Amino acid sequence: MVGMVGRLALGFVALFALSACENSNKSRFPLACPTPSLIGVGADLTRYVPGGPRDLINVDYEARISGLVGGCNRGGDGASVDMLLTVGFQVEQGPGGVSQTVILPWFVAVIDDTTGAVLSRQTFVESVAFGRNSSRIDGQSEQVTIKLPVTETRKAKDYRILVSFELKPEDLELNRRRGPR
């Protein structure tokens, strides 16, 4: 008799636990979140002293995207996922370094993973300053939010998120010539 009562009690506990799960807030479950990726050829930015030749002696600063950290939350409208993204930067003053404050233009592109089409592109600018007697900065961007529309047929995993510095044609050519660093 005790065994049957014990099994019955265990059954009620299990039923109660399952009903609690059914009524729980669904936002506590993890979301599928696209992994942000770095465009390799866009990971470096070199600026030269204005008016001088583009050579090693005249490098004002070199910057590098050093990391991407992201995560997702349900959008407030119920029809989107908000991707939260922070970008890490490393900046080194060059031999010709004259800038104490450095402007780092960068962007995030949202790509349709099926067609490869660019669905949106947002540009951001970070301003970082070299400290006194410092020639290197390790920093990060402010957290940005990228809104990804979702439906029954389009999920957050159907997007690719690409990050790069905003490069001029000559910057892109330099990065291609010298290769990844």
Summarize pLDDT for 132-168 with one digit per residue, the tens.
Answer: 888 999 999 999 999 999 988 888 889 999 999 999 9
DSSP string for residues in 95-129:
TT---SEEEEEEEEEEEETTT--EEEEEEEEEEEE
Neighbours of 50 (CB within 10 A): 9
**Residue 121 pLDDT exceeds 80:** yes
Mean pLDDT computed over 127-132: 89
Q: How confident is the model at residue 52 (pLDDT cuts 50, 70, 90)?
A: confident
In percent, the amount of the chain with pLDDT more than 70 equals: 82
Mean pLDDT computed over 167-171: 94
The residue extents of the domains of the chain are 27-178
* 53-76 exposure pattern, b = at least 16 Cβ within 10 A, e = fewer: eeeeebbbbbbbbeebebebebbe
Mean pLDDT computed over 9-33: 44
**Amino acid letter for position 12:** F
Summarize pLDDT for 83-110 with one digit per residue, the tens.
Answer: 999 999 999 999 988 888 999 999 999 9
Are 32 and 52 a contacting pair, CB within 8 Å? Answer: no
Q: Which positions ≥6 away from 8 have C-beta within 8 Å?
A: none
Output the six-digit token pair for 47.
């600026």
